[in-house]
């Protein structure tokens, strides 16, 4: 009976794009050659910690249970070979344990040949108005009639999630317009984040509003809830009704604006990444306040988020010397936000659902005439993590179907 490939320390499917051809080792270093000519090096301690046997991970959860500090000494390699199934087999001292490694998993985690292990799932593409007059749009007819996790559902979600991850924005069309259906749709992606506005919030003019969004006035480009320590990563706006005059939606790629600032006004860009502004939402029943730069970078200097909302800024509280430079930078930014080359405009139609990255995209709205009809959007929030997780699950399901189909042909 042919030996099977070993399990991996996760639930994913790892295609074998190249086979293991040769292996050599020293006590703390193993080197393998692949059928396509690549050479990969792995440290002994890394291999020991990332094994998939029952002493390393819980087979029921695939979560690690090994505590390296409990080993008698540093794990070292005493023998290594490629078995008949094509797996890497390694003997470790001081345990005297032989462990097997799946070649597809091993290749995918080849840190010796990876330039950027934290590369985004989908390449980030910044955009301006010339990229199109509206967001990427997909027909989502029957989405809620599909079985969760089905190939039909994934055919809709895969390109939608890709657009969100890459461009920060997508529009799904022809969805149900029943109030509350947004939550059911959103949960096809992941958990919804409740806020003081509720699990779902209604964007329409109302008496005694507790937000400018709940009026008919124009809204400038902004992100939602910059007043929170961790502003929601994603926002969904679902159109149930729209028969008013005006109220056109406006969206800008905050990353495109920030990159333009970095190129044209480097001092302004540096100021906006350094000075911490006060963001405040002091409503009648809540009082949220947070301090943050308007543009945040990650450890590599890449754009992480923008936090812009003029109507939710509190009094600037910074060093005396930074006040005028901060306001000079703010006004340069505000002028750029008025530049029509950055904005796409569109009108919500009933059944439209727009999903966008709330830490990247700026959204705005023209004023509308409240007596000319009715405009009703329902909204909710979730986190960037949910989009990334769902995208990985969609790709995993696709790989599993492919592997099953290939196995049936053998």
Q: Provide mean pLDDT across the span 150-166.
A: 94
Question: What does the domain layout of the chain look like in residue ranges?
Answer: 20-117, 129-393
Q: Domain 129-393 classified CATH 3.40.50.12160? A: no
Q: In this predicted model, what pLDDT tens digit does every residue of 292-324 receive, in sequence order?
A: 999 999 999 999 999 999 999 999 999 999 999
To the nearest whole number, what is the mean pLDDT of the chain? 93
Model pLDDT for residues 222-276, shown as the tens digit of each residue: 999 999 999 999 999 999 999 888 889 999 999 999 999 999 999 999 999 999 9
Question: Using an 8 Å Cβ cutoff, are 168 and 382 in contact?
Answer: no
Residue 210 banded pLDDT, cuts 50, 70, 90: low
Tell me: the pLDDT tens digits for 126-147? 999 875 567 899 999 999 999 9
The model's pTM: 0.91
| Sheet architecture: strand order including 234-242 | 137-139, 169-173, 353-357, 234-242, 375-382, 201-203
Q: Which long-range contacts (CB under 8 A, 24 or more apart) does 89-93 make?
A: 90/25, 90/30, 90/47, 92/44, 92/47, 92/48
Paired residues of 85 in beta bridges: none
CATH no., domain 20-117: 3.30.2020.30
């Amino acid at each position: 009976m042919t030996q099977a490939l070993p399990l991996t320390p996760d639930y994913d499917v790892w295609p074998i794009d190249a086979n293991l051809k040769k292996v050599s080792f020293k006590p703390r270093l193993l080197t393998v050659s692949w059928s396509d000519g690549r050479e990969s090096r792995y440290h002994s301690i890394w291999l020991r910690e990332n094994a998939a046997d029952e002493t390393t991970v819980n087979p029921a959860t695939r979560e690690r249970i090994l505590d390296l500090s409990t080993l008698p000494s540093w794990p070292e390699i005493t023998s290594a070979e490629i078995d008949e199934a094509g797996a890497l087999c390694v003997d470790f001292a001081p345990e005297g344990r032989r462990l097997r490694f799946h070649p597809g998993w091993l290749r995918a985690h080849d840190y010796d040949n990876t330039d950027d292990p934290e590369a985004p799932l989908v390449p980030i593409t910044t955009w301006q108005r010339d990229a199109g007059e509206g967001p990427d749009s997909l027909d989502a007819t029957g989405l809620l009639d599909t079985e969760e996790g089905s190939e039909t559902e994934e055919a809709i979600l895969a390109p939608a999630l890709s657009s969100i991850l890459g461009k920060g924005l997508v529009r799904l069309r022809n969805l149900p317009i029943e109030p509350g259906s947004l939550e059911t749709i959103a949960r096809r992606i992941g958990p919804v984040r409740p806020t003081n506005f509720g699990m779902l919030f209604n964007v329409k003019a109302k008496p005694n509003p507790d937000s400018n969004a709940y009026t008919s006035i124009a809204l400038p480009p902004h992100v939602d809830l910059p007043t929170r320590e961790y502003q929601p990563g994603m926002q969904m706006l679902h159109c149930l009704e729209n028969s008013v005059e005006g109220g056109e939606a406006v969206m800008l790629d905050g990353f495109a604006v920030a990159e333009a600032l970095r190129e044209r006004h480097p001092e302004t860009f540096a100021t906006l990444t350094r000075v911490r502004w006060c963001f405040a939402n002091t409503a009648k029943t809540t009082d949220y306040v947070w301090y943050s730069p308007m543009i945040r970078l990650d450890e590599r200097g890449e754009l992480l988020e923008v936090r812009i909302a003029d109507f939710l800024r509190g009094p600037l509280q910074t060093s005396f010397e930074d006040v005028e430079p901060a306001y000079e930078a703010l006004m340069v930014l505000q002028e750029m936000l008025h530049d029509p080359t950055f904005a796409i405009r569109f009108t919500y139609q009933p059944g439209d659902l727009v999903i966008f990255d709330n830490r990247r995209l700026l959204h705005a709205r023209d004023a509308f005439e409240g007596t000319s009809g009715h405009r009703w959007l329902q909204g909710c929030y979730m986190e960037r993590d949910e989009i990334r997780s769902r995208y990985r699950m969609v790709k995993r399901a696709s790989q599993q179907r492919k592997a099953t189909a290939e196995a049936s042909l053998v």
